[in-house]
Amino acid sequence: MSQTYMKEQKVLPLLLKMSLPMVISMMVNSLYNIVDSFFVAKISENAMTALSLIFPVQNLISSVMIGFAIGINAVISFYMGAQDYKRADKAASQGMIISCIHALILTIVCMAGMPAFLRLFTKDSEIVALGLQYSYIAFAFSIMFGIELVFEKVFQAVGRMNTSMICLMTGCIVNIVLDPALIFGWGFLPRLGIKGAALATGLGQTVAAILYIIIYLVKPIPVKIRRKELKPEADMAKRLYSIGLPASLSLALPSILISVLNVILSAYSAVYVFVLGVYYKLQTFLYLPANGVVQGMRPLMGYNYGAGEHERVKKIYKTGMVIIFIIMAAGTILCLTIPDRLIGLFSSNTETIYAGEKALRIICAGFIVSTVSVNSAGALEGLGKGFPSLIISLCRYVAVIIPVALVMSRFMGAVGVWHAFWITEAVTGIVSLAVYKKNA
């Protein structure tokens, strides 16, 4: 039950030990995203377009839930490092109830606003209908998703990364298996089309949440979710939100970005909207594994910061940078060598493949330099520095890329939007180093 190994073991082996299960989980999750889109694209191109338009709202829900869970993780890690186990229990318990409240509010608001949201981007009644069919079912599972996330971050905070890996992979595998079965009606299952994809996603989240609960009850961990601590307290809520709110905003910013870019690109052709949707599915195969490293790094940063091990905190940061760099370099090579095959997973249309191939080759120029912003933002969250981390995300998703995309598209058309990605990563990399050095 002792967590002192977090400040005693050598940094590289420890970070790999903490990160590898999460990287594997994120890779499986990335595979699920690809498989999900692959099968939805088989329904029709309109179905894939609907999924692309829904993505910002799905990302908004995920951002709020994941961001707040990051706050729970950071607070628990800090108190564990400071040997204050009672406060760690309070963070977990109150975090769970607040997360469920978030999920309920988001479900109601997003379902109510979805018809109007979809009509902002398309007048095609079929795309709107497909989008509503998917979103209503997917959003209905938000509470189960919230419960899954809180348990995930609690287990990660105490170093139980293998448990997180098992639960995440189980949920993803359930998704992958049920996707084609429910979309196309295999065996005794009904043919549900795009509704089947949404149901598969929700059931995968539910299975993962139930598995977490079973493991939590069967195999004790140092942090407990206690009934007497469920009532939110102002000081604990403030601490959770001080990290969770900036993290949520950081994660929600891509939703704003994608919506704005969809508006810019739709003025040229629906093909570019489709390509942008495919890119964001493909980039999860790169950025989710990088996020796996960040998830392994956060509890180590928080624990050692709480324990006063500041030199060790610096070493963890540098080691995380190297590992993420390797992941980004691999992604760059893939996008430069086989972009046509990657886009071809989602469309057989020659025009779409050509446009997507060009987009990937331009965008990937920013992958390697994004290592700095990804690592710095994650490290600051682990240290409980939520608002400095938010500054990095604002640069990456709003303050730089949107103005650059608007200007570049005036001169270069849709291709200008693709160039805005790597320009933004270069600028944000410089800002990230400055922000981290000032706040770490």
Structural domain boundaries, residue 229 = 9-439
Give domain status of residue 3, yes or no. no
Instruction: State residue 124's pLDDT score.
Output: 85
Amino acid at 361: R
Q: Where are the beta strands (DSSP E) in 231-333?
A: none
Instruction: State residue 358's pLDDT score.
Output: 94
pLDDT one-digit tens code per residue, 163-215: 988 998 899 889 888 989 999 988 888 899 899 999 998 999 999 999 999 99
Residue that has been written with the tokens 């608001």 in this structure: 109
Name the token pair of 336.
């430069």
- Could you tell me the CA-to-CA distances from 274 to 41, 45, 265, 321 in Å, in that order? 11, 8, 10, 32
What's the rounded Cα separation, in Å, for the pair 324 and 374?
8
What's the rounded Cα separation, in Å, for the pair 12 and 229?
36
Give domain status of residue 63, yes or no. yes
What is the block-wise mean pLDDT of the chain (440 residues), using blocks of 10 residues?
69 87 76 75 84 82 88 88 88 93 93 90 87 92 92 88 88 89 88 91 93 92 88 90 86 83 88 88 84 88 86 93 95 93 86 92 95 94 88 92 95 94 96 92
Give domain status of residue 2, yes or no. no
Number of domains in the chain: 1
Give domain status of residue 228, yes or no. yes
Q: What is the DSSP letter of 186?
A: -
Give domain status of residue 4, yes or no. no
Which residues, at least 6 apart from 295, have a Cβ–Cβ distance to it below 8 Å?
A: 19, 22, 156, 164, 378
Give domain status of residue 327, yes or no. yes
Instruction: State residue 1's pLDDT score.
Output: 45
Give domain status of residue 231, yes or no. yes
User: Counting runs of H as helices and runs of E as strands, what totals does the chain give?
Assistant: 17, 0
> What is the gyration radius of the CA atoms in the chain, in angstroms?
21
